């Protein structure tokens, strides 16, 4: 069921470039993932190194599935649309990288490149558990990405620079964000924020479970250490999730006051912590909703495809784009 975007059982390669990993897969137009390969994002994640990985993944996937008809990419950062030029990313080193042109030249297949959260939102809108024509997806991982579906289509702005939802300002006096600003939603409610809060906790209380878990592993505290402690019921770690989730909910409310949304989906690595994150987010989204009795409140739900949203959405993008070309 792809509505106006009927593609008839075709397959595409979907590539997902994130801050920590690069995934590639062959995906069927109903969302079935046939093969998946994953590599680590290189330390120096400039265009040259990332491109090498991308082309290697594409070649291996195509050798296994020569029937693929298109390539789609979702990448962290600001992507010019429809040119497929990645201009800049807060957590990767590539700059002004013409991904679409490179892929089309290397493969001879039609390619389409968009922001990673945009393609995740596309997967949700076209193939998700419920299909909403007006929805928002926030990917909560290293950073916070945002994808907006308005009247059934991805909102990109005229050249693809729109929907930078992780960089709304939720408190102008807040902590410094990876993008250089202060008080972005990403600075308060991302994996990076959880790492920062976990380290503050461990420094203030070396006897805390968070500090002890890190010491046992001989590693620095990360967001995952906090998640582990919270999973063991540690009140201090759970309190950090409550704060993180509350900020996420404030951001959701702010965005939902702008758009008339039928649903808000949360994806990215942190959504795997489930209600630890989602319950405080829902509470704050209700508390800060404008005119809730009149406008209603959009449900805040985990994304349908979890960590596969990027590769599936990228493949859907590739297929839709190839069908339109």
Which residues here bind a second copy, judged by CB under 8 A?
78, 87-88, 90, 133-134, 146, 150-151, 155-165, 167-173, 179, 181-184, 246-247, 250-251, 253-255, 257-260, 284, 287-291, 293-295
How many CA atoms are closer than 13 Å to the CA of 261, on its beta-carbon side?
A: 26
Considering beta carbons, is residue 4 or 294 the nearer one to a second copy?
A: 294
Shortest reach from residue 152's CB to a second copy, in Å:
10
Yes or no: say if 303 and 137 are a contact pair by the CB < 8 Å rule: yes
- Residue 197 CB, nearest approach to a second copy (Å): 17
Q: How far is the CB of 144 from a second copy (least distance, A)?
A: 12
Nearest to 310 by CA among 42, 9, 10, 72: 72
**Of 68 and 250, which has the nearer Cβ to a second copy?**
250
- Nearer CB in complex with a second copy: 119/170: 170
Instruction: Rank residues 42 and 259 by Cβ distance to a second copy and give the closer one.
Output: 259
CB nearer to a second copy: pick between 146 and 268? 146
> Using CA atoms, how far apart are residues 241 and 189, in angstroms rounded to an integer?
9
β-strands 11-17, 21-28 pairing: antiparallel
- CB-wise, 58 or 91, nearer to a second copy? 91
Task: Give least dist CB 292 to a second copy, A.
Answer: 9
Distance CA 249, CA 281 (A): 4
Q: How far is the CB of 263 from a second copy (least distance, A)?
A: 13
Tokens of 171: 């408190």
Phi (first) and psi of residue 68, to 5 degrees:
-60, 145
Give least dist CB 157 to a second copy, A: 3
Measured CA to CA, the distance from residue 301 to residue 126 in angstroms comes to 16
Q: At closest approach, how far in Å is the CB of 121 from a second copy?
A: 14
Q: What is the Cα–Cα distance from 117 to 151, expressed in whole angstroms?
A: 17
Q: Which residue, 104 or 279, has its beta carbon nearer to a second copy?
A: 279
Nearer to a second copy, 131 or 182 (CB): 182
Nearer to a second copy, 8 or 172 (CB): 172
Cα dihedral sign, 207-212-218-221: negative
Cα separation, 40 vs 52, whole angstroms: 12
Residues 6 or more apart whose Cβ sits within 8 Å of residue 275: none
Q: Nearest approach, Cβ of 83 to a second copy (angstroms)?
A: 14
Measure the CA–CA gap between 161 and 245, rounded to whole angstroms. 27
Cα–Cα distance, 93 to 301 (Å, whole number):
32
Q: Least CB distance from residue 235 to a second copy, whole Å?
A: 23
Work out the angle between the directed axes of helices 191-204 and 209-217 (0-180°, nearest 10). Answer: 100
Q: Is residue 12 helix, strand or coil?
A: strand
Task: Answer for the pair 100, 113: CB distance below 8 angstroms, yes or no.
Answer: yes
């Amino acid at each position: 069921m792809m509505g106006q975007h009927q593609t008839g059982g075709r397959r595409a390669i979907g590539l997902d470039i994130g801050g920590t990993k690069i995934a590639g897969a062959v995906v069927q137009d109903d969302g079935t993932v046939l093969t998946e390969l994953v590599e680590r994002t290189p330390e120096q994640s400039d265009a040259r190194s990332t491109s090498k990985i991308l082309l290697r993944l594409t070649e291996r996937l195509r050798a296994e599935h020569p029937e693929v008809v298109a390539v789609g990419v979702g990448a962290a950062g600001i992507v010019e649309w429809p040119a497929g030029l990645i201009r800049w990313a807060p957590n990767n080193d590539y700059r002004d990288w013409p991904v679409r042109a490179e892929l089309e030249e290397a493969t001879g297949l039609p390619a389409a490149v968009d922001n990673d959260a945009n393609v995740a939102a596309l997967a949700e809108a076209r193939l998700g558990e419920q299909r909403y024509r007006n929805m928002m997806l926030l990917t909560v991982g290293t950073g916070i990405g945002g994808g907006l579906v308005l009247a059934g289509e991805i909102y990109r702005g005229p050249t693809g620079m729109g929907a930078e939802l992780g960089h709304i300002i939720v408190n102008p006096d807040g902590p410094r964000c990876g993008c250089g600003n202060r008080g972005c939603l990403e600075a308060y409610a991302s994996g990076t924020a959880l790492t920062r809060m976990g380290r503050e906790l461990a420094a203030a209380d070396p006897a805390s479970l968070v500090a002890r878990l890190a010491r046992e592993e001989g590693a620095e505290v990360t967001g995952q250490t906090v998640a582990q402690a919270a999973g063991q019921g540690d009140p201090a770690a759970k309190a950090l999730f409550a704060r993180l989730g509350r900020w996420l909910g404030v951001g959701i409310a702010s965005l939902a006051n702008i758009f008339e949304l039928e649903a808000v989906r949360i994806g990215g690595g942190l959504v795997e912590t489930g209600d630890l994150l989602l319950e405080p987010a829902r509470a704050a989204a209700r508390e800060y909703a404008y005119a809730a009795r009149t406008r209603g409140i959009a449900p805040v739900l985990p994304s349908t495809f979890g960590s596969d949203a990027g590769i599936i959405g990228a493949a859907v993008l590739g297929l839709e784009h190839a069908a339109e070309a």
